[in-house]
A and B are shown apart, each in its own frame.
Chain A
Amino acid sequence: MTEITLIAAINQALNYEMHADQEVVLLGEDIGINGGVFRATQGLFEKFGADRVLDTPLAESMIAGLSIGMAAQGLKPVAEFQFMGFSYPALDQIINHAARFRNRTRGRLSCPLVFRMPYGAGIHAPEHHSESTETLFAHTPGLRVVVPSSPARAYGLLLAAIRDPDPVIFLEPTRLYRLQKQKVADTGEALPLDKSFLLREGKDITLISWGAMLHESLMAADSLLTRGLSADLIDVATLKPLDCDTLLASVEKTGRCVIIHEAARFCGVGAEIAAQLSEKAFLSLKAPIQRVTGYDVTVPYAQLEKQYLPSLTKIINVIDQTLEFT
């Protein structure tokens, strides 16, 4: 068992499942000969050939439509959009068709596909390349939305996403692609798609995050230890359907909750989590549930990226505000 990056874990999961299941097909822009914009599919074209690793034209709507057709007829396509911001031309296909196949055919057809999308800011990329619009997908009935935040979870969750009988939006935090390593066993073992993960256990406050913001959230949780405080830190991992039981158990224990996400604040998934927790944990709350988020603006270019993203300092300040309620 070796220590690998998140991008290598994605590659490993794709490789494993293509060996294990002949129905798995990859498609996307430059994913074949080139190996993908971030090299997620590197080496797979050589191994599995042009019939199973398809380089497509630059037409996201077509990539989505093609995937839906394949899925409806028994294949298991895993399509890559180079960046989340490029998925918007395909929204019609995703929302109007992929998400509704099961409902429209009254369960006769499902749509077992995965749309992989590198997402998030912090890598000094141009416009459209730093989006974190998971809300669009989480708001759409019929889609699962999954965000891994470590190599091991990327491996296990991607396998689960490919094996799931319904469409899964799989968001890969670009900032974490090569930022850290973790031991990953290439055993083909999937993780559940309806569970959140407890990364730190504590008693004074619950921190909830997903994707690349887990990086800063972990530092915030650890910095509390130096002050004699401790936090439960939860990686939501699957945004839809939400594992509210895990979040609720933690907040009922700590009475305090801060949600950290890089997506814009308004109608961000954090708002939904805060609403559910205030309904269900109302009697346990010692402080208002607070959010540390991006701003309600288009994600800025490289120079202002740091100001846009929730920083460790911002997270700690909001934690302190929450702790001030006695």
Chain B
Amino acid sequence: MSRVLLIEDDRETATEILTELGRKGYVTGHADTGPAGLERARAERWDVLIVDRMLPEQDGLAVIRCLREASVRTPALILSALGAIDDRVRGLRAGGDDYLIKPFALAELSARLEALLRRPGDGERTHLRLGPLELDLIRRKAWRGGRNLELLPREFQLLDYMMQHEGQVVTRGMLLEEVWNYRFIPKTNLVDVHMGRLRRKLDPSGEPPLITSVRGAGFMLRAPA
């Protein structure tokens, strides 16, 4: 049962988020000012923080900076109405781990939260394995049940990312940012087309699909039961 602390001063937004998180099964906490949030973040144990950038008395970035200085490593997702790339960079440099621009879809928030909660293990990874799926990260090759998938470089990157987030919802926004490194408004069509090609290679008809579409959110890779 993951514990999420939300530091957000806007009533409406806070209610929305807390409701959704509750629905997803998270244990939630809420603070509506910077200092109060900082207090709770330090005092209690949390698995992930959601911090609004514009807070009364102390802005969100300052809160995160304080926490980092106090060696609190809890992953933090920053919410902000400021969408310029410079703002994003500033946010991440202050110690944030992800940055979401308001207004955002709750599904997006949810997916990113999950990604933060389950960070991929550090350390050398040369091979990934999941059910019938096998990835050789050195030679950039992938097999399903022994069959070489003959993936193009971009497709391999895509599959790699999906495997790192196995069992989680991955949004198009996340893919564009992490796989393509595009930090701008996505022409989301692009992701669908590439994903489509990957899926055709990965999940030919007759075999149970490993990648599924999650309606209204994105995609998910899951090992067959």
Bound pair (A, B) = no
Q: Interface on A for B, CB 8 Å cutoff?
A: none
Q: Interface on B for A, CB 8 Å cutoff?
A: none
